[in-house]
Structure 1
Amino acid sequence: MDQDLERLFEKMCDPNESDAYVFADKIGLKADEVAKNRLIELVNGEDWEIAYLSCRALSKTHWQEEALDVIFKVIFDRKNKKRQGAFVQILEEFDLSQRFVDVFKVYLFGNFKASTLAKDYLDQVEFDITPRTIRKAEKHWNHYLHNPEEPDSLAIKKAEVEPMLLEMKELFSE
């Protein structure tokens, strides 16, 4: 990795740096394969603030799909349950059009903040939906119905999800 990128990583990872996000953006714009791999390592690391900044940097690269795989893995990791919201929030920097099922799972199984943000994405993003996407979403919905993490929210989610799934099915029944 060149010295300029190394210096940017040092600045981004410095806990006293007030503009760390600026350095994250610069890393994302200059990232090569080595920098991408380092960013992915940091996303999986223990320091959630550096992980968040690394997600931000990855959003500026052309490795968005690979980055999204890693970010969703971090979101669904039980140890990050309290920090899910931050990782879901950074998803706004990515193209989510191919990620309906992942966002839907966050809506169903995420903590309050993560679920609320995921619902906003479900309402605002134009997803590429296929019959297979619908079947996968229904599978997760059925799992949720039998294992709700928040039984009190079951009625609310039922009122939101069932019409959504029905509307998507109708797209392919015509």
Structure 2
Amino acid sequence: MDEEIEKLFQRMLDPEEAEAYNFADKLGLKATEEVKDKLIELVLSDDWEAAYLACRALSKTHWNEESLDAIFKAIHDRKNKQQQGAFVQILEEFDLSQRFVDVFRVYLFGNFKASSLAKEYLDSVEFDISPRTIRKAEKHWNHYLHNPEDPDSLSIKKSEVEPMLLEMRELFSD
């Protein structure tokens, strides 16, 4: 890694740096394959602030799918339960059109903030839906019905999810 990239990493990861977001953005715009790999390592690290900044840097790259794989892995990692909302919020910087099932899982199983943000994405992003996507979503929905993390929200989610799934199924019925 060249010296300029190393300095960007140092500044981005410096806890005293007031402009860490700007350095994350600059790093993302200059990202090479090697930088992308290091950023993904940071996303999966135990330091959630560094992980968040790495997510921000990745949002400026063209590695959308690899970046989203790592971010969704971080979102679903139990150690990040308290920071899920921050990770879900950064998703707005990415193309989520191929990620309906991932966003749907966050809606079902995320903490309050993560679930609320995921619901916004479900309502506003134009997803590419296929019969396979619907089957996967139904599988997660059935799992949620039998294992709700918050039984009090079951009726609310039922009133939102069941019409959504019905509408998607109707897209493919003849």
Please, what TM-score do these two structures have when normalized by structure 1?
0.99
Deviation at 1:64, TM superposition (A): 1.1
Matched ranges for 1:14-163 at <5 A = 14-163=14-163
* In structure 1, distance between residues paired with 2:78 and 2:94: 23
Partner SS, residue 45 of structure 2: coil
Structure 1: gaps (5+ residues): none
Code of the residue aligned with 2:151 in structure 1: it is P
Residues 102-161 of structure 1 deviation map (CA, whole Å, 9 limit, x = unaligned): 000000000000000000000000000000000000000000000000000000000000
Tell me, in whole angstroms, the C-alpha distance in 2 between the residues paired with 1:134 and 1:4.
Answer: 46
What is the match of residue 12 of structure 1? 12
Aligned-pair distance for 1:34? 1.1
Q: Which amino acid in structure 2 is aligned with residue 49 of structure 1?
A: E
Give runs of ≥4 in structure 1 deviating > 3 Å. none
Rounded to whole Å, the distance in 2 between the matches of 1:159 and 1:7 is 50
- Partner amino acid, structure 1, of 2:19: D
Note the residue ranges of structure 2 that are not aligned, 5 or more in a row: none
Q: What is the distance in 1 between the residues matched to 2:81 and 2:171?
A: 34
Q: TM-score, normalised by structure 2?
A: 0.99
Q: Report the CA distance between 1:44 and its aligned residue.
A: 1.0
Q: 2: distance between equivalents of 1:50 and 1:18?
A: 14
Q: Output the amino acid matched with 1:129.
A: I
| 1:47 Cα deviation after fit | 1.2
- Rounded to whole Å, the distance in 2 between the matches of 1:43 and 1:6 is 17
SS of the equivalent of 1:167 reads helix
Secondary structure of 2:62's counterpart equals coil
SS in 2 for 1:55: helix
